[in-house]
A and B are shown apart, each in its own frame.
Chain A
Amino acid sequence: ELKVEQNPLFLSMQEGKNYTIYCNYSTTSDRLYWYRQDPGKSLESLFVLLSNGAVKQEGRLMASLDTKARLSTLHITAAVHDLSATYFCAVSFGNEKLTFGTGTRLTIIP
């Protein structure tokens, strides 16, 4: 059974600081996704990582994938208030169904 764990579950950080969210998964996966969800809203796709060593960046967010360690990271650089949201990672393997992590609720404090 594929399990996906994120940590931390809750993160409160000051504007301007850097931080990293971790996503571990239990079995081999061929795709890893990062999504953002604002309160009461749907999911917004941030990144899709397809291979070992993949790195993608968009603005202050950068995601990386280490398939050997079964680990993905979402790095936040110089956080701003607009980044406050819940971030989910999700993985899939072969059958194309996504298994989601528990989510990380990020709050950026001015």
Chain B
Amino acid sequence: EADIYQTPRYLVIGTGKKITLECSQTMGHDKMYWYQQDPGMELHLIHYSYGVNSTEKGDLSSESTVSRIRTEHFPLTLESARPSHTSQYLCASRRGGSYEQYFGPGTRLTVT
């Protein structure tokens, strides 16, 4: 079983608020990813990191930002939440050289 955690699991917040979604893994994986998924739809990669101090934007443009100061931690921040940010956000990690990508439980974000 993968040890990858996300908090909060559910978040309802008003427009304009700043939020940070937390993702951490205890497996020592160097590669970490953030995906956005609307209900019943496919996942879209919005950010990824191949190691500490390495972050890249994914295939889907996002107003969020990420940081990777520690190997185990990959938080995602929205400076000013909008209703269009309402979605599920899934964090994943993978060890370099391995094919398996493990997903966290997700954060379901609702912006009112």
Q: Contact check, B100 vs A43: say whether CB atoms are below 8 A apart.
A: no
- List of B residues within 8 angstroms of A42 by Cβ: 90, 103-106
Interface string of A79-103 (1 = CB under 8 A from B): 0000000101010000011111111
Q: Contact check, A103 vs B42: say whether CB atoms are below 8 A apart.
A: yes
Interface residues of B (CB under 8 A from A): 31, 33, 40-45, 48, 58-59, 90, 94, 99-106, 108
A31 at the binding interface (Cβ < 8 Å): yes
Interface residues of A (CB under 8 A from B): 31, 33, 35, 40-45, 48, 50, 86, 88, 90, 96-103, 105
Compute how far the CA of A110 lies from the CA of B41 in the bound complex, rounded to whole angstroms. Answer: 26
Q: Contact check, B99 vs A103: say whether CB atoms are below 8 A apart.
A: no
A39 to chain B, nearest CB (A): 9
Q: A42-B105, A99-B59 are in contact. Are A31 and B99 (CB under 8 A)?
A: yes
Q: Contact check, B41 vs A102: say whether CB atoms are below 8 A apart.
A: yes
| Besides A44-B103, A48-B99, A97-B33, 17 new A-B residue pairs in contact (Cβ under 8 A), listed by A number | A31-B99, A33-B101, A42-B103, A42-B104, A43-B43, A43-B90, A43-B103, A48-B100, A86-B40, A96-B94, A97-B45, A97-B58, A97-B59, A98-B45, A100-B42, A102-B42, A103-B41
Q: A42-B90, A43-B90 are in contact. Are A101 and B40 (CB under 8 A)?
A: no
Q: Contact check, A105 vs B43: say whether CB atoms are below 8 A apart.
A: no
Q: Contact check, B42 vs A101: say whether CB atoms are below 8 A apart.
A: yes
Nearest 9 interchain pairs by C-beta? A43-B103, A100-B42, A100-B43, A42-B103, A48-B99, A42-B105, A42-B106, A102-B42, A97-B45
Of all chain B residues, the one with the shortest Cβ separation from A40 is: B108
